[in-house]
Chain A
Amino acid sequence: QSALTQPASVSGSPGQSITISCTGTSSDIESYNLVSWYQQHPGKAPKLMIYEDSKRPSGGSDRFSGSKSGKTASLTISGLQAEDEADYYCCSYAGSSTLVFGGGTKLTVL
């Protein structure tokens, strides 16, 4: 149950696109199509942005997209907006009905 690896921080200017990576192992990300991504603003509960690697929840913004290759999943945010500034967490199914989160990435909109 080792945490997934995310960059501590990323930044971008309004209108740009950024990508946050999430690296796991052959026991989690690579073995299942069950990576999810969460956005968390300070003092707030997390919000689901992507599930099952690349699916968006109903009503979710199409500026957010997810992908995966091997042991690494990615979250891409296009057309960056000020309100996208938040912490982002990836999460993967890790077998035997357990889950593991990444350490989180702080997104700064310049």
Chain B
Amino acid sequence: EVQLVESGGGLVQPGGSLRLSCAASGFTFGSYWMSWVRQAPGKGLEWVANIKQDGIDKYYVDSVKGRFTISRHNGKNSLYLEMNSLRDEDTAVYYCARAPLFYFDYWGQGTLVTVSS
């Protein structure tokens, strides 16, 4: 059974940093693109970042470029999102998702990031 479990969310002040993690199981992690998708409270879904199987190719939505970094450790079956210079508008539930071919077939339960002073 495919499982994705996010962790690392919490309350952080504007300008602060946070690192999200996603533990994957039930599939060959290193064979899949992986993504982060977020959802602000009461709002819609927003794709945040993609990372290719080898961890070298990474892509971001314009609003997080230069501030967020997606990474992975295939040996640990883990996906990460390093978030710096956080802004109020980054407040959201962050989902980890498996992305076979630019769609998301499995999702985690999400972790809430709140940016507030």
- A positions within 8 Å CB-CB of B: 1, 3, 34, 36, 38, 40, 45-48, 51-52, 57, 89, 91, 93, 96-104
- Cβ of B54 under 8 Å from chain A: no
Once the chains bind, are A48 and B105 in contact (CB under 8 Å)?
A: yes
Once the chains bind, are A89 and B103 in contact (CB under 8 Å)?
A: no
| Candidate in A45, A91, A93 with the most chain B CB atoms within 10 angstroms | A45
Once the chains bind, are A97 and B104 in contact (CB under 8 Å)?
A: no
Give complex CA distance A97, B104 in Å.
13
Option from B45, B61, B110 in Cβ contact (under 8 Å) with A38: B45
Once the chains bind, are B45 and A91 in contact (CB under 8 Å)?
A: yes
Once the chains bind, are A34 and B44 in contact (CB under 8 Å)?
A: no
Contact (A97, B45) CB under 8 Å given A45-B107, A52-B101, A52-B103: no
Per-residue interface assignment for chain B, residues 38 to 65, with 1 indicating a CB less than 8 Å from any chain A CB and 0 otherwise: 0000001111001010000101011000
- What are 24 A-B pairs at a CB distance below 8 A? A1-B61, A3-B44, A34-B102, A36-B103, A46-B95, A46-B104, A46-B107, A48-B106, A51-B101, A51-B103, A52-B101, A57-B105, A91-B45, A93-B102, A96-B59, A97-B102, A98-B59, A99-B50, A99-B102, A101-B44, A101-B46, A103-B44, A104-B44, A104-B45
- Cβ of B109 under 8 Å from chain A: yes
Give complex CA distance A100, B62 in Å.
11
Once the chains bind, are B44 and A51 in contact (CB under 8 Å)?
A: no
